[in-house]
Amino acid sequence: MRQIKIVSLLVRDYDAAINFYTEKLGFKVLDDAAFGDRRWVTLELPGDKCTLALELAKDSSDSALVGKQAGSFPLLALDTVDCMDDYKTMKARGVKFHGEPEKGPWGTGVLFEDLYGNRLFLNQEA
């Protein structure tokens, strides 16, 4: 094995999720096409090798997991070269943060939420 290629994220609405991840977090749409009986939507951060695949919740067990896929832990940690600048930009775009960036042994980081309540962590290495 060499790397993680795709991470799946359950969503309630493709277009709302695409809008949040592209307009608020800076992801780019890699694929958005019919794939058999479903829609294949993948997003990526510029320069990243890992793709985020949006998967439409299809039944009640999927729906129950939307926004809770990692429990109380961050679902994803996003690397940045300027945590404070990205924090200010994303906050101005309406992203919900859990406080302000703080310095720690991991660097500078802050917890925030996506449109469904999944926790994500923005981190600038020390």
6-124 fold: 2,3-Dihydroxybiphenyl 1,2-Dioxygenase; domain 1 (3.10.180)
φ, ψ for residue 116 (rounded to 5)? -105, -5
Domain extents for the chain? 6-124
pLDDT bin (cut points 50, 70, 90) of residue 1 is: confident
Q: What mean pLDDT is reported for the chain?
A: 95
Distance between CA atoms of residues 71 and 51, nearest Å: 21
pTM for the whole structure: 0.91
pLDDT tens, position by position, 95-109? 999 999 999 998 999
Q: H or E stretch including 16?
A: helix 14-19
pLDDT tens, position by position, 23-53? 999 999 999 999 888 999 999 998 888 999 9
Structure-token match 């960036």, residue found: 101
